[in-house]
Amino acid sequence: MSTFVLVPGAFHGGWVWTPVAEELQRRGHQAVPLTLTGLGDLKHLLSPDVGVT
């Protein structure tokens, strides 16, 4: 079994990885789709203090 951390881009949330995560889990892997702060479901948390560095 492997663990996959799925990181979206282009202003998407972790939901964009749902089909992939479900397939990985079906094959016996662990899949962790993330939503980065300030994007997707967490866009309300965006502030000048949020960055990727």
For the chain, give every domain's residue range. Answer: 3-45
Q: What's the gap between Cα 43 and its chain centre?
A: 13
Q: For residue 33, which of 19, 51, 52, 50 has the smallest C-alpha distance?
A: 19
User: Model-level pTM greater than 0.85?
Assistant: no
More confident residue, 11 or 34: 34
Reported as a single tens digit per residue, the pLDDT across 7-33 is 988 778 899 999 999 999 999 999 999
CA 36, CA 52: separation in Å to the nearest integer? 9
Contact 37, 13 (CB under 8 A): no
pLDDT band of 44, cuts 50, 70, 90: confident
